[in-house]
Structure 1
């Protein structure tokens, strides 16, 4: 999904039907601050979310984590999670430096 899209909810019912799947975690389940950036790091002023809380910031940004007793079960279950978006941006990704430099 494109950056700027808004995560609304998850449907994990099908993922939990796979034997060995134990849990699904999203940004709501992170206690405290949902950020890779330490509060004592004065050089990094931008927050970088561990899991996207609402708005997707970049392609491939993680939105959830599946926990299972085997990696194959976790990988299969991850494909079964449905992400519902309340808004989806339809912009073409900028994949090269030239595309970025030519963009408005």
Structure 2
């Protein structure tokens, strides 16, 4: 996403200033976007383990050792639901502008 800015420090610095570049009044971070995604996917009924895999969180305990599933189909369903949710919000926002 950031091209040559690949070190964690570079991503953090760049991501910490996106809100300014977009001229938003309130400060937000990339981590806020991750939190929002996790919360909204849970609200949409996506199972917590699928959300954790989408966020690339490591799974601890027995599940992390024995379960090596990638949940590809479940992640696709989750991301399709998220896209639909975002598109629905975009329609609502555009209707407000009218």
TM-score calculated relative to the size of structure 2: 0.23
Q: Which has the higher contact order (CA 8 A, sep 6+)?
A: 1
Q: Which has the higher strand share?
A: 1
TM-score, structure 1 as length reference? 0.22
